[in-house]
Copies of this chain bind each other. A is one copy, B any other.
Amino acid sequence: MAKALPVSPLAPAAFPDLPQIAGVEFAAIESGVRYRGRRDVMLARLAPGSAIAGVFTRSATRSAPVLDCEAKLAAGGDTGAGAAILVNSGNANAFTGAAGEGSVAAICSALATAAGLPASRIFTASTGVIGERLPHERIIASLDALVAGLAPDATEAAARAIMTTDTFAKGAGAVVPTPAGEIHIAGFAKGSGMIAPDMATMLVYIFTDARVPQPLLQRALSAHTETTFNAITVDGDTSTSDSLMLAATGQGPVVIDDLAAGAGPAFTQALHSVMLDLAQQVVRDGEGASKFVEIRVTGAVNAADAKRTAMAIANSPLVKTAIAGEDPNWGRVVMAVGKSGAKADRDRLSIRFGDVLVAEKGWVAESYTEEAGAAYMKRAELQVNVDLGLGNGAFTAWTCDLTHGYISINADYRS
C-alpha cells in the first residue's frame, strides 16, 4: 500500500471480542510478499475431524488458489487428519499462468511438512495485485515461525494480516446456547474494493466448534451466501480471488445432523448473523465510503426482479454520487429502477428515504418536501426503500456511496 488510508468513518469502534473456537489456532507473520512493516500471511490450523465448506468466485479468470481450493473441496479428503488455511495479502496470484499453480503447490507442500498435515487438506488464498508472480519462497521461509506461533486467541492478528485496502479489521462472532451446550462461531473478512454481488464474496473465514457433517456445513453456507455476501456491492467489480470458507471443528459439545431440527435452526440463524455482520463490515469499509446504504426492494413480481432492481440502484454511479453529495435526488433512483430490466410500472412504484415518502403514483409524493429529503440524506446510515407495487418479490442489498476517496484510492493504489 503506497500510503496508509484513513480509517473509514463507518468503521465499528473496535474489533469485536470473538469467542475462541476449540480446535482452531491462528498465527500471523510478516513475510514481505509486498508490504513492509506489517504482517501479511495468516495461518489457521484446524484440529483433526474438522469439516470445511467453501464458496468461491465464479469469475472466468479466477486465481490459482481458488482453483486449488475448489478441486480439494470437490475431492473430499481425509477429515481425520486436520487441515489448515493459509492466506497472504499483497499479491493475488491470479492470472499468473502455470507458475501460479506451481506457487500454490510449493506452499502446500512446504506447509504439509511444517505442520504435519496432508497437502490435500491445506487451503490457500492470495489477495492483492493481479498478474505478478507470487514470491512464494518468502512465504515458505516464514512457515516454521508461523506454525510455532499458533495460538487460539490470535484471531485479530489473523484478520489484520489479510487486509489490503481495508482500513479496519473485520470480525464477527456468536455464542449460541442450545440444550446440548453452547455453539461458538467466530469469523473474519477482508474486502473494500472490487466488491460485487452475484459471484461469491471476498476473503472470509468463519469457524465453529459445532460438529457438522461437511455436506450439511456446505448447504448452510451456500444457503446464506445469497442474502449476505451476494447482497453487497461496493463498485460492481468482482474479484478473481473471492473465497468464503467455513470450518467446523466438532470440538464443542453440540452435534448438528439436521439443519431444520435440534440445534440446527439456532446454528444456521447465528451463522447467518455472523455472515451478514461481516458482509456489512465490508461495505462499511468500501473504498472511500462515507455513507452506509441499505436498499430494500419489495413488491417485485419475483425475488429475481427484486434483486435486479436493488442491485441496479446499489451499483448506479449517479445514485451513489448523489448520496455522497447528500442530495435527495430520487430521480436517479427512478432512473435506476427503469434501467434494471425488472418489470416496473411508473404509476405503481413508491420510493421512501427511510420513512420519508418521496414518490408514489408516478410522481413526487404530495406530502414530500425537499427539506425533509435533504435532512434525511445528512445521516451516515441511509435506507432507500422501493416498493414496485406488483407482487411479493423482495430483496435487500447493502452498498456505500461513491466519493472522491474511491477515485483517489484506485487511481493511485495498484492492487
A235 to B59, CA, bound (A): 22
Decide yes or no whether A212 CB sits under 8 A from chain B: no
Decide yes or no whether A250 CB sits under 8 A from chain B: no
Q: Known contacts A318-B194, A347-B97: does B335 contact A237 (CB below 8 Å)?
A: yes
Q: What's the dominant secondary structure at chain A's contact region?
A: loop
> How far, in Å, is A56 (CB) from chain B's closest CB?
12
Is B331 a contact of A129 with CB atoms below 8 Å?
A: yes
Within the complex, which residue of B62, B339, B346, B411 is in contact with A325, where a contact is CB–CB below 8 Å? Answer: B411
Closest B residue to A336 by beta carbon equals B237
Give chain A interface residues in 392-413, CB to chain B under 8 Å: 402-404, 406-408, 410-412
Is A61 a contact of B338 with CB atoms below 8 Å?
A: yes
Seen from chain A, the residues whose Cβ lies within 8 Å of a Cβ on chain B are 57, 59-62, 92, 94-100, 129-132, 193-194, 196, 199, 235-240, 315-318, 321-322, 324-325, 327, 329-332, 334-340, 342-347, 359, 361-364, 402-404, 406-408, 410-412, 414
Is A407 a contact of B335 with CB atoms below 8 Å?
A: no
A239 to B35, CA, bound (A): 43
Contacts of A199 in B (CB 8 A): 339
Count identical subunits in the complex: 2
A285 to B321, CA, bound (A): 19
A61 to B236, CA, bound (A): 23
Q: Write 26 A-B pairs (CB below 8 A) sorted by A numbering.
A: A59-B335, A60-B342, A60-B343, A60-B346, A61-B338, A61-B344, A62-B338, A129-B331, A130-B331, A131-B334, A131-B359, A199-B339, A235-B318, A236-B315, A237-B318, A237-B332, A237-B339, A240-B338, A317-B402, A318-B410, A325-B410, A402-B407, A403-B411, A404-B407, A404-B408, A406-B407
Q: Known contacts A321-B407, A411-B322: does B239 contact A335 (CB below 8 Å)?
A: yes
Is A335 a contact of B130 with CB atoms below 8 Å?
A: yes
Contacts of A403 in B (CB 8 A): 407, 411
Closest B residue to A199 by beta carbon equals B339
Is B362 a contact of A95 with CB atoms below 8 Å?
A: yes
A299 to B402, CA, bound (A): 34
A332 to B347, CA, bound (A): 41
> How far, in Å, is A94 (CB) from chain B's closest CB?
7
Contacts of A62 in B (CB 8 A): 338
Contacts of A316 in B (CB 8 A): 236-237
Within the complex, which residue of B325, B337, B414 is in contact with A61, where a contact is CB–CB below 8 Å? Answer: B337
> How far, in Å, is A411 (CB) from chain B's closest CB?
3
Contacts of A194 in B (CB 8 A): 318, 335
Contacts of A321 in B (CB 8 A): 406-407, 410-411
Contacts of A337 in B (CB 8 A): 60-61
> How far, in Å, is A409 (CB) from chain B's closest CB?
8
Contacts of A327 in B (CB 8 A): 411, 414
A236 to B325, CA, bound (A): 19
A408 to B403, CA, bound (A): 9
Is B95 a contact of A331 with CB atoms below 8 Å?
A: yes
